[in-house]
């Protein structure tokens, strides 16, 4: 979280699990609150570096585009 969010005592709504490739969205701040879980092909956490995302996702897609395939990346 950024400084303003910390100062306002905000809580984290989204949690990522890189190993399980899931993103969980919590509705309430307390532990055990219901959450919705989504599974993806790949998940990057809040501390991921832009270069890591580029190398893992964009770089391989560029090769596919050069070969003539249509590619879309959602972020």
What does the pLDDT look like over 36-74, one tens digit per residue? 999 998 899 888 999 999 999 999 999 999 999 998 887
Strand, coil or helix: what is 16?
strand
What is the pLDDT at residue 34?
Answer: 81
Asked if 3 and 27 sit in the same domain, the reply is: yes
Strand, coil or helix: what is 36?
strand
What is the pLDDT at residue 20?
Answer: 95
Asked if 61 and 25 sit in the same domain, the reply is: no
What is the pLDDT at residue 52?
Answer: 93
CA distance 25 to 37: 6
Asked if 54 and 35 sit in the same domain, the reply is: no
Asked if 17 and 52 sit in the same domain, the reply is: no
> 11: domain range?
1-43
What is the pLDDT at residue 9?
Answer: 85
What is the pLDDT at residue 29?
Answer: 73
Asked if 22 and 52 sit in the same domain, the reply is: no
* Residues near 28 by beta carbon (within 8 Å), at least 6 away in sequence: 34
HSE-up (13 A, CA, CB side) for residue 48: 17
What is the pLDDT at residue 11?
Answer: 81
Cα angle 72-27-25, degrees, rounded to a multiple of 5:
30
Asked if 34 and 54 sit in the same domain, the reply is: no
> Looking at the 3D structure of the chain, how many domains does it have?
2
């Amino acid at each position: 979280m950024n400084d303003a969010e910390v100062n306002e005592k905000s809580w984290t709504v989204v949690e990522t699990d890189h190993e399980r490739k899931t993103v969980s969205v919590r509705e309430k701040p307390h532990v055990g609150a219901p959450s919705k879980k989504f599974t993806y092909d790949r998940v990057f956490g809040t501390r991921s570096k832009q270069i890591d995302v580029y190398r893992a996702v964009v770089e391989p897609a560029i090769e596919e585009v050069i070969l003539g395939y249509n590619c879309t990346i959602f972020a």
